[in-house]
Amino acid sequence: MWGRSGRRANALWGRGGRGLVLGIVAALTIAVPLGATASTNGKGSGGNPTFIAPGLLAGAKNNPNQKLHVIIQSSGGAADATNKVRGLGATVRKQLNLIGAVAVDITAGKLASLSKQTGLTVTADAPVKLSGTINYSTQLWPYSSGVALGWGYPLAPAPQAPTIAIVDSGIQANRADFDNGARVLPQVNLASLTPNSPGDGRGHGTFVAAVAAGSAPGYAGAAPNARILPIDVMDDTGKALTSDVIAACQYILQNKYNLNIKVANFSLHSGAQNHFYNDPLDKAVEKLWFGGVFVVAAAGNYGSASGPSGVLNAPGNDPFVMTVGALDLGSSFGRSDDSIAPWSAWGYTEDGFAKPEISAPGRYIVAAVPSTATLTSQRPDHVVAPGYMQLSGTSFSSPVVAGAAAQLFARHPSWTPDQIKGALMLTAAPLGTNGSGVGELNQARALGVSSPPNPNSGLVPFEAGDPVGGLMFNATSWLSTVSSNASWTDASWGDASWGDASWAAASWGDASWSDASWADASWADASWADASWADTSSEDGVEGESGGVAPAMDAAAAAALQASSLALPAGQEAVDPIVP
């Protein structure tokens, strides 16, 4: 295992080191960042002390009367957390039983009293932002990614895909993209922030859902027969609270059986940065993962073409879930001109895990957006047809993989999220470039996998029973192991597990975790700079980037399509959504 000295080159990410990542932390942080250690006394403290994110404590000294939105996790569960804030003038806004926590409004000066309690983890309730026939699309991405091969055709229809939960800004259900609402379950509204229009006031959720499971002629998504569960956590400007996203996870887990939810898409990320074992949103998505729901998260749009940005925000920083980077497909059907979008985040998390695991089309994508949405009014130049826009971002790569996962579940309903992740990673097409993970999604090959490996096998020994139910990640055991054994993952990435994977163990197995990011620099004060108290932003702007055209099929691809079983029925015209 290579370390800070760079004693081994990493075939996937280049050489180790945290200088660049730490150098940009202050610029990336737009809300109170979460803590770096397991206790307020620093790494390795004994007992069960209360942890309060350093950024919160530092701000409290200067602004003791400021009202804070925080999430308080307790080792004794939500009831214990509620009891321990009594008498402090705090308001409990939401019970988060999924992770044994409560969302609370509390005066900053009262944090000192909380610090005298035991068994609590206090973090910011940080703002979250939006980092033909039914089986036909005139865009390249369904064919380049291979999802089109899973659509089926009249003589061999695809098996019914399970429900995909879209945790976002809601959905405009009554449109052709979703069979006029026939495949859309009743929307769950959990957004605390206002204004929040009925349906989808922002438009982001409708776009994401259409990429994952749209079915309109010319605009088909990755799994056009999947049902959709829209969960609205965003207001009309694209903002949400972490506690509302956690509440969405709780709803999904409670209803996974009766609604057949197998996939959950999070095209968003927290405005706070934290180690995954302390972050409440990471803990919530892990509960979904352990509960049999495949979680897909966008990597984020804060990357740089000059080098790794790191993937620093929940839930994309969680080692269990599948994090997706954005591909630019170029202008041809082949992969020779495919590349990672320059703003797609990549690199190591604060805890040394390489992200993203995989990449999928995410640049110049055309999909559905309500004509009354704020996205439409803010970016009218990106409207390519009534009710359709061209947008870019890892937000739109993530639902491509969510739909691909739903297709795999349709054919292998007993598979676990680990197996779905393994099948997608095993068959990815290598790009030979930084930032793409193991490569780009190749659903055509993934559909042929029968016995996928487990890419999370190195983490399995640290799964343990959770006092609030189900499984949890045993952070104490993991911290102890990685502190004493920097090569703890080596045994789980042997060649036998991955067979003849074209990207080979050298390019991912050993590189999947790096002790270089675990050096003392990762605990530096730079992560908790004053910039963390700056105003938050609801959009990163990349999703509306200009200057490009969504790639439609070239002549060779169109000819190949017409010769395949995916061709349009005789007499039906294709509609090119790119033509104004």
Q: pLDDT tens for residues 405-451?
A: 999 999 999 999 999 999 999 999 988 777 889 999 999 999 999 99
Contacts for 483 with CB less than 8 Å, ≥ 6 apart: none
Band the pLDDT of 154: cuts 50, 70, 90: low
SS3 label, residue 93: strand
Q: What is the pLDDT of residues 68-112, one digit of tens each?
A: 899 999 989 999 999 999 989 899 999 999 999 999 999 989 998
Q: Whole-angstrom Cα distance, residue 265 to residue 343?
A: 20
Q: Whole-angstrom Cα distance, residue 127 to residue 535?
A: 10
Question: Helices 417-426 & 394-411, crossing angle to 10 degrees?
Answer: 110
Indicate if the pLDDT at residue 466 is higher than 80: yes
Indicate if the pLDDT at residue 339 is higher than 60: yes
Q: Whole-angstrom Cα distance, residue 396 to residue 389?
A: 12
Residues pairing with 513 in the sheet? 353
Percent of the chain surpassing pLDDT 70: 73
Contacts for 57 with CB less than 8 Å, ≥ 6 apart: 40, 111, 115
What burial class does residue 577 get, using C-beta atoms within 10 Å of its C-beta: 0-12 exposed, 13-18 middle, 19+ buried? Answer: buried
Q: Mean pLDDT, to the nearest integer, of 222-230?
A: 96
Residue 433, pLDDT score: 78
Residue 492, pLDDT score: 42
Q: Of 58, 540, 87, which Cα lies nearest the Cα of 298?
A: 540
Residue 555, pLDDT score: 46
Indicate if the pLDDT at residue 580 is higher than 70: no
Residue 462, pLDDT score: 93
Residues pairing with 129 in the sheet? 239, 269
Residue 198, pLDDT score: 93
Residue 542, pLDDT score: 56
Residue 267, pLDDT score: 96
Q: What is the pLDDT of residues 509-522, one digit of tens each?
A: 444 666 544 433 33
Residue 134, pLDDT score: 33
Counted residue by residue, the chain has a size of: 580
- CA-based diameter of the chain, in Å? 74
Residue 484, pLDDT score: 84
User: Who has greater pLDDT, 2 or 351?
Assistant: 351
CATH class of 128-450+486-525: alpha beta
Q: What are the residue boundaries of the structural domains of the chain, listed by start?
A: 35-125, 128-450+486-525
Peptide bond into 356 cis (omega under 30): yes
Residue 131, pLDDT score: 64
Q: Whole-angstrom Cα distance, residue 173 to residue 41?
A: 50
SS3 label, residue 389: strand
Question: Cα dihedral sign for 29, 542, 351, 517?
Answer: negative
Q: Of 105, 257, 251, 265, which Cα lies nearest the Cα of 191?
A: 251
User: Who has greater pLDDT, 313 or 28?
Assistant: 313
Band the pLDDT of 63: cuts 50, 70, 90: confident
Q: Whole-angstrom Cα distance, residue 125 to residue 127?
A: 7
Band the pLDDT of 546: cuts 50, 70, 90: low
Q: Mean pLDDT, to the nearest integer, of 104-129?
A: 88
The terminus-to-terminus CA distance of the chain in angstroms comes to 53
Residue 290, pLDDT score: 97
Indicate if the pLDDT at residue 578 is higher than 80: no
Residue 1, pLDDT score: 24
Q: Mean pLDDT, to the nearest integer, of 468-480?
A: 89
Indicate if the pLDDT at residue 222 is higher than 90: yes
Q: What share of the chain is helix, strand, coil (3-state, %, to 5)?
A: 30, 20, 50
In 412-524, alpha helices (H): 417-426, 443-446, 475-484, 495-498, 504-508
Q: Whole-angstrom Cα distance, residue 347 to residue 483?
A: 21
Residue 335, pLDDT score: 76
Q: Mean pLDDT, to the nearest integer, of 111-129?
A: 87
Indicate if the pLDDT at residue 151 is higher than 60: yes
Q: Of 273, 268, 244, 365, which Cα lies nearest the Cα of 321?
A: 268
CB of 487 closer than 8 Å to CB of 1 = yes
User: Who has greater pLDDT, 295 or 576?
Assistant: 295
CATH architecture of 35-125: 2-Layer Sandwich (3.30)
CB of 541 closer than 8 Å to CB of 392 = no
Residue 138, pLDDT score: 62
Q: Mean pLDDT, to the nearest integer, of 244-255?
A: 97
Residues pairing with 313 in the sheet? 273
Question: Cα dihedral sign for 294, 541, 240, 303?
Answer: positive
CB of 396 closer than 8 Å to CB of 166 = no
Show the beta-strand stretches assigned E in 205-289. 228-232, 239-241, 261-266, 269-270
SS3 label, residue 10: strand
Band the pLDDT of 211: cuts 50, 70, 90: very high
User: Who has greater pLDDT, 561 or 338?
Assistant: 338
Mean pLDDT estimate for the chain: 78
Lowest mean pLDDT among 151-160, 177-186, 336-345, 389-398: 151-160
